[in-house]
Every structure is written in structure tokens, then in C-alpha cells.
Amino acid sequence: MTQTHDGSPTRRRGSRGGDRIMVPEADFTSYYGRAIVKPAPWEKDIAFYLFTGGVAAGSSLLAAGADLTGRPGLRRVARLGSLGGLGLSVGFLVHDLGRPSRFLNMLRVAKLTSPMSVGTWILSLHGPFAALASAAEVVSMLPAGWQRIGPLRLVAVLGRPAGLVGALTATPVAAYTAVLLADTATPAWHSAHEELPFVFCGSASAASGGLGLLGAPVAQAGPARAFAVGGALVELGAERRMERSMGLSAETLHHGKAGRWMRASTLLTAGGAIGALVGRRSRLLSAVSGAALMAGSLCTRMGVYEAGLASARDPKYTVVPQRERVDRGEPVRHRQ
Amino acid sequence: MTGPNSLFGPLDPAPDAGYVDAPKRKGFFTDTSVCIGCKACEVACKEWNDVPENLYQMLGTSYDNSHSLNANQWRHVAFIERPGTTPAPDQPAAAPVDIGMPTVGAAPSGVPDEAKPDFQWLMSSDVCKHCTHAACLDVCPTGSLFRSEFGTVVVQDDICNGCGYCVAACPYGVIDRRKGPEGDSRVGIAQKCTLCYDRLTDNQRPACAQACPTESIQYGDVDELRERASERVATLHEQGVMDARLYGNDPEDGVGGTGAFFLLLDEPEVYGLPPDPVVTTKDLPRMYQRAGLAAAAMLAGVAVSFLGRRP
């Protein structure tokens, strides 16, 4: 604690300005200004994972589509993106554990009430199939002689069916992370639970489509372009809607670190989407737009992540909404 | 084992968790009106449960240097110093009763009572609430957190992999991942009050309740404690202490009532407690529904992106 306090509980004015006043300023009481709920004890790993998991999921969808419609260039970048995204995701997730050596304990139980457990099983289902499809892609890049080796031939043959299973299990990978964050007492995450899945799925589509634009030849990148622009529009729209339904804690998306990430996200995502539409014949502009969309997606994840931590650190976001509903005579009670 | 109230609403947690012939639900009633801030509960808890040192120093916040409930602090006494509330004119303060204690310290002063500073202590020993609907337990992905036969919520140290999800899920900010001291066998693992699970299985009171010299911390069957608490509030109201209120005793509240509940003398947030906590998993079905919709939209989106285009 760096603040000094007299012996009495802190009462202070809630609003600290900012570019937008979401609600009237709040007067509230706390115990020496200390947090009530605890911020998630996670490193930035988890924000990175939100991004890499989204890229992996979207890429796996694009890869299956490209495979079925005969777009080998798009398929290659999407399958490699899926593999890279998955590998990084697992790395981030394991690294963030307090006891990384016990990561397999995640598979002891399957619990519907735990989005992390559900997510683990979703990843365990999706991961091997998506990775097998990616392995088939790697095999196709080997010298022709090597491709005739028995096991490698088998991998190549299994590429398409594995990729299809991977695609069918991909969207839950992109969507569950929103539930993962929302199913907490962290004010800015929980209050966003209606729209956060759409923000995250949109963000995953924009990022993976962006990767397609970055890596695939223009002639084959059409679907990636449509997917990216659609995702960017959904993300931007859902994000605006989310801020309206969040109430007081929407402030945290505008202040400090989270505010900077979110502003960058809007610029990069909107700019990337426009660039992708305008530059449909230019390899360079497509690539730059794709990179901007990916960066925008990363910024969204960082912004939402940081906003949640900020909302947990300040007791205002826990106390004020709860106090207001109690004072209105509408505390949360089971009897209806 | 799952009923209509498994995520929200009144419930007896042990049978809901699948126990047959479970003992009666055990809990704490912490009556802060008789807490003297001695911290015997903090010490007893640390000694019995081998909880290492807290990582905080002098905080300058009244007598509270243990900061908060966290992985290394399973009981936490809050201290609030403030101007006293003047008793109503028709409710004169009771005269002190001589109980024959030897006199120590300063001699009686000649200062009249009116001239003494108007001053009030609020002290409260906080602890894990052992919620009926415990978010920490609901979200634990390894099954490390479990519901005991006593209806309490306990971490299994040898299972927890330190994912930290319970930390973000607790609406009271109780459970935390242990950060230190270095070399402690439970660093990196979620830690909190177990309601002295080991003592309970041996028919003993939890260490904090055993050590409490004023019976501010009362241990027993939750049913009986709730009755006792209601009587205590009624008594205090009769005595003119109109600020007395119960916190966590209502099985209809946002967490289905808590196994450890409190009698407070001011609003909960004054003590660092949330005024209207709700278990986050109450909304989980809705969250899955929204996520399912978003996932379906994404799948449709990719299909549309490929349709009608020739490579």
C-alpha cells in the first residue's frame, strides 16, 4: 500500500474523468481503498493465448475451406497458422500455471461448471486433428521422395479428414475463451458476458483472415479477405454494444493501459478492414492490411484482459453496482 | 446429483455434491459486536494450518497489518477506527459492571465522559465464506477444490496445478495462489481456509473458534448458528444497536447463503466485504448459450466466405 490513510474507511468520489462519462460519478465506501475481488493471478501469457487460440481456431476453419475449394496457397498459410497458434497456445497455458509440471491434472475431470475444464477438453479434441492436418501440410512441403515413406504418406492421406474434424471443433476454441473470462467475479469481464463471445469470435476471424491475407497469394485470398472483414465488423459492432451493457465497469476499457490497447485495436481493426477491401488486387496492401488486422486482434485481447484486471483492482467496480441494486431494493435474491 | 438449484438458490451443499448420510453442515457465525481485535484467531489459524508469514509490512491502517485474506492469511481481522455513534437519549449507555479484575495501567482519570474523544472501533475477523454456491469450486478445472461432507469447500494441495481460476472467480476475494516464501511446499498452489477440515473429522472445533476469547467466532451446525444469529441481532436491536445486521445468513442470496456468516455493525463494504455478492456461475448457462451462438455465427461466416467464389 502506497497510499496513506487515516484510521477511517475511505470514501471518495468515483469518477476520474476520461474521454467519456458512462454513468454519474459514484460515491462509495471501501476498506482503506483496498480491492475486494482479487485480480486473476495470470501473466500476459493468458492475453497472448486469447490471441493465438483465436488465430489457431480461425486458421483451421480457413484451412479446411481452402483444402475443399482447391486453394493450396491459402491452405498452406492457414494450416501452418493453425499449428503455430496451437503450439504457442499450449506453451502459454502451461507456462502460466502455478505448477506447470501438473498441467495434465486438467484432464483428471470433465466439469461443465468450469469453462477452463470445458476449454481444456475442447482443445484436446481440436488440437490433435488440427495438428494432423498441419502435419500433412508439412509433409507436402518435403521432397517428393520423402513423401513416399509409409508413415508420411499416411499423414498426407489423413490431412483432409483430420482438417475437417479440426474445422468442426474450431469455433468452440474461439468462443469458449470469452466464457472463461466472463465466468469470474472480475467486474469488467463478468458484466461483458452477453457480447464478449461475439467480440472474441469476431476478433479470431479478423486475425486468422488477416494471416491469410498476409501469407496467401491474392488470387486465392478472397475467402480470407471476406472472413477477415466480416470478423472485423462483428468485433467492432459487438464491442460497442458490449460497452453499453457493461455499466460502470465499461470505464475500464477507456482508462490507462486498457484504454490505449482498445483505442489501438479500433484503429488497427477498422484500418485493416478498409485496407483489405480497397487493396484486393494489391499483394502489398493486402499483406499490410492482414498484419493490421492481426495486430488489432491482439490489441483487443490485451485491452479486454487489462480492463478486467483494472476493474478487479479498484473496489469501485465491485461495490458501486452492488450497492446501487441494494439501495434500489433489488438485491440478487432467489425468490422471484 | 444436479437439481434445479445446483447453480443458484437454497440448497444443502453436501447432499447436492453426492454425499449420502452427510453430517449436518458446519460453519462459523462471526459476531463482530463482541470482537476485541486480539488476533488470536489469526495466530491460531497460522499455527494449526502451518500458514507461512504474510508478505505485508506495516500498513498504517489502524491495527491491521495482515492486509487481507489471501493465500498466507486465512483469518483476517479488520480494524476500523471512527467517530462513535452517540446513543439515543432514551438509551443511556449501560454503566460498567465490576467483574473483580485487578486494575492495571493508568489510574482512573478525572476527565468527565463528555470530554473524552467520541470514538468507536469496528473490528471483524474475516474468513472464507464456504458458500453454498462456491464459485471457486465450480470453476476449478482439476477437481482440486471439493465439497467436504461438512458442506465446506477445501483445496487438495496435491491436485491443484495453480491455474488461478478460483482466484478470479471468488466474489469475496478470499482464495489466492501462494506466492511465497520461497521453498514453501505450497507455493504456486491455491490456498484458503479449510474450516480446519482435519480438526472437524476429529470432532474438534476449528482452531480460530477454539482460540477466540470472546466467542466472537462461533462454530457449529449452520442451521443452529443461523437461529442464534437472528436472536443476537434481535437482542442488539432491543438494546438500541440498530446498525446490527446479518451478512451471508440468507439462503436466498446471491451465493445461496454462506457457511461462514457475520453480524456486522455497518454496511459490508466498510469491512471490505461486497454488499451483494453473486456466484458468477449463476449466469453460466446464459454464457454458454451466447458462446454457442457466436461459435455458430463464426462457422456460418467462414462458409459464406467460401461460397460462390471460384479459386
Distance from CA of B122 to the nearest CA of A (A): 10
**CB-count burial class (<10 Å; 0-12, 13-18, 19+) for A56:** buried
ipTM: 0.92
Q: What is the pLDDT of residue A260?
A: 98
**CB B259 within 8 Å of CB B130:** yes
pLDDT of B1 over the 80 cut: no
The CA distance from A112 to B92, in Å, is 57
Amino acid, single-letter form, for residue B293: L
For B181, the grid coordinates are: 516464501
Q: What is the pLDDT of residue A8?
A: 45
> Nearest residue of B to residue A73 by CA position?
B311
For B116, the grid coordinates are: 473524552
Contacts of B286 in chain A (CB under 8 A): 193-194
pTM of the prediction? 0.91
Quick: pLDDT tens for B96-151: 667 676 666 666 667 776 666 677 889 999 999 999 999 999 999 999 999 999 99
For A304, the grid coordinates are: 479486454
Q: What is the pLDDT of residue A146?
A: 86
Mean pLDDT value across residues B44-48? 97
> Nearest residue of A to residue B305 by CA position?
A223
What is the per-residue DSSP string for A26-81?
Answer: -EEEESTT--SSPPP---THHHHHHHHHHHHHHHHHHHHHHHHTT-HHHHHHHHHH
Interface residue of A11, A50, A126, A171 to substitute, partner B, most B CBs within 10 Å: A171
In a domain, B233, yes or no: yes
**Cell 481456509, residue?**
B193
A120-128: long-range contacts, CB 8 A cutoff, minimum separation 24: A120/B141, A122/A169, A122/A172, A122/A173, A122/A176, A123/A53, A123/A89, A123/A90, A123/A173, A125/A169, A126/A57, A126/A60, A126/A166, A126/A169, A126/A170, A126/A172, A126/A173, A127/A86, A127/A90
For A290, the grid coordinates are: 492482414
Half-sphere exposure of A101 (CA within 13 A, CB side): 3
Mean pLDDT value across residues B14-41? 96
- Consecutive H or E run containing A272: helix A256-278
Mean pLDDT value across residues B217-232? 97
Mean pLDDT value across residues B243-264? 96
In a domain, B289, yes or no: no
Amino acid, single-letter form, for residue B119: F
Full residue range of the structural domain in which residue B245 is found? 13-85+116-280
In a domain, B263, yes or no: yes
Q: What is the pLDDT of residue B4?
A: 82
CATH number of the domain encompassing residue B50: 3.30.70.20
Distance from CA of B204 to the nearest CA of A (A): 31
In a domain, B43, yes or no: yes
pLDDT (tens, 9 = 90+) of chain A, 336 residues, equals 333 334 345 554 443 444 444 555 568 999 999 999 999 999 999 999 999 999 999 999 999 999 999 999 999 999 999 999 999 999 999 999 999 989 999 999 999 999 999 999 999 999 999 999 999 999 999 888 888 888 888 999 999 999 999 999 999 999 999 999 999 999 999 999 999 999 999 999 999 999 999 999 999 999 999 999 999 999 999 999 999 999 999 999 999 999 999 999 999 999 999 999 999 999 999 999 999 999 999 999 999 999 999 999 999 999 999 999 999 999 999 975
Domain count, chain B: 1
Identify which has the larger pLDDT, B253 or B102: B253
User: Could you give the percent of chain B with pLDDT greater than 90?
Assistant: 79
The CA distance from B195 to B259, in Å, is 10
Q: Which domains does chain A have, with CATH numbers?
A: 40-317 (1.20.1630.10)
In a domain, B90, yes or no: no
User: Could you give the percent of chain B with pLDDT greater than 70?
Assistant: 88
In a domain, B93, yes or no: no
* A21-35 exposure pattern, b = at least 16 Cβ within 10 A, e = fewer: ebeeebebbbbbbbb
Amino acid, single-letter form, for residue B88: A
Question: CB of A194 within 8 Å of any CB in chain B?
Answer: yes
Which residues have a Cβ under 8 Å from the Cβ of A165 and sit 6 or more positions away?
A: A129
pLDDT of B169 over the 70 cut: yes
**Cell 461466416, residue?**
B301
In a domain, B39, yes or no: yes
Are residues A97 and B7, on separate chains, in Cβ contact within 8 Å?
Answer: no
For A246, the grid coordinates are: 457493461
**C-alpha distances in angstroms, B275 versus A15, A84, A335, B61, B229?**
20, 45, 18, 22, 19
The CA distance from B277 to A315, in Å, is 13
In a domain, B307, yes or no: no
Are residues B139 and A114, on separate chains, in Cβ contact within 8 Å?
Answer: yes
**Cell 502460466, residue?**
A96
β-pairing, B75-82 vs B120-127, is antiparallel
Q: What is the pLDDT of residue B2?
A: 67
Q: Is the omega angle on the peptide bond into residue B268 within 30 degrees of 0, that is, cis? A: no
Q: How many residues comprise chain A?
A: 336
Which of A180-189, A326-335, B208-217, B302-311 shows the lowest mean pLDDT across its residues? B302-311
Residue of A99, A198, A209 with shortest CB distance to B189: A99
Are residues A4 and B281, on separate chains, in Cβ contact within 8 Å?
Answer: no
The CA distance from A295 to A73, in Å, is 22
Are residues B142 and A109, on separate chains, in Cβ contact within 8 Å?
Answer: yes
